[in-house]
Amino acid sequence: MSRSAPKGLPWPPSRRESSSPRGDPVLRTSKLVKIYRADGVTVEAIRGVDIELAVGEFVAIMGPSGSGKSTLLHVLGGLEPATSGEIWLLGRRVDGLSTAGWAILRRRHVGFVFQFFNLLSNMTVADNVELPALLAGATPRQARKRREELLAELGIADKAGAAPARLSGGEQQRVALARALSNEPSLLLADEPTGNLDSSNTRDVLRLLRRAHSDGQAILMVTHDARVASLADRVINLFDGMVADDARVVPIPRRVNGVGDIVELRG
């Protein structure tokens, strides 16, 4: 299989054009490795990671600081190159894509939510949210409608004309999430999306993530918060750059004493 996108017709198809049935992997890695070398020091940030994410599945990644969580997300989104191993997205191997190829892939199929927002400061909230949809081929009317729906869902519709710098941290994070979902990506990568939020803003962000998940959005989320991870279908724990365990989240009825979801280890 070629390591790059085929010439001619653009690949991958838009999310609406994808015919992958629910249950088939939207993302798969094989023996994924990321090594940093600087000043004679070698650091193995990711060591032989094998994971799968089905279409519509919500997977949380947890682990101690320095375990490789954020590095893994950056490699999977093409923000950093893998040292070795394979990355497959919607049935195509993508780890060998050029920088431009990754940019096109992210524009059409991968949404990113960063812990520190990364909003464009010289654009309004509305423009920040609409831009990914426009780049993915939506009409201005479609992009505007999608933006209005997302901002309304997050309770910040009245901030559409504001500059990001005039928003609180919680509002900026909600805008970042709306931006990541505006082009209806096949895969949403979220790096600590609630890490800097208070409880009220966290609830707003998690509500939209739950809704996106129920609509069939595949989500891979790094988090340090077990309560946030309990929303996922599975929890993958990393330790020293390797998968230490892979757990399935089993919901149980809420009780008066406040006991929530539990995690049941597979196999």
Confidence band of 252 (pLDDT split at 50, 70, 90): low
Q: Does pLDDT of 10 surpass 80? A: no
Q: Does pLDDT of 264 surpass 80? A: no
Quote the CATH superfamily of domain 55-81+96-253.
P-loop containing nucleotide triphosphate hydrolases (3.40.50.300)
Cα separation of 123 and 20, whole Å?
35
Segment 52-76, tens digit of pLDDT: 999 999 999 999 988 999 999 999 9
CA distances from 6 to 11, 16, 85 (A): 7, 20, 20
User: CB–CB of 142/133 below 8 Å?
Assistant: yes
Q: What is the pTM of this model?
A: 0.82
Domain ranges of the chain: 55-81+96-253
216: how many CB neighbours lie within 10 A of its CB? 13
Per-residue pLDDT, 139: 93
Per-residue pLDDT, 227: 83
Per-residue pLDDT, 258: 46
Tokens of 217: 């959005």
Segment 148-173, tens digit of pLDDT: 999 998 889 999 999 998 998 888 88
**238: buried, middle or exposed (CB in 10 Å: 19+, 13-18, 0-12)?**
buried
Q: Does pLDDT of 232 surpass 80? A: yes
Per-residue pLDDT, 24: 67
Residues found in the chain: 267
Segment 199-227, tens digit of pLDDT: 887 888 888 888 888 888 999 999 988 88
Per-residue pLDDT, 253: 59
User: In the chain, where does DSSP find H-type helix?
Assistant: 69-76, 99-109, 125-135, 140-153, 169-181, 199-214, 226-229
Confidence band of 95 (pLDDT split at 50, 70, 90): very high
CA distances from 95 to 89, 98, 224, 236 (A): 9, 9, 27, 21
| DSSP line for 44-100 | EEEEEE--EEETT-EEEEE--TTSSHHHHHHHHTTSS--SEEEEEETTEE-TT--HH
Tokens of 116: 């520190």
Q: Does pLDDT of 249 surpass 60? A: yes
Q: Does pLDDT of 22 surpass 70? A: no
User: Average pLDDT, whole number, for the chain?
Assistant: 84
Q: Does pLDDT of 112 surpass 50? A: yes
Cα separation of 163 and 159, whole Å?
8
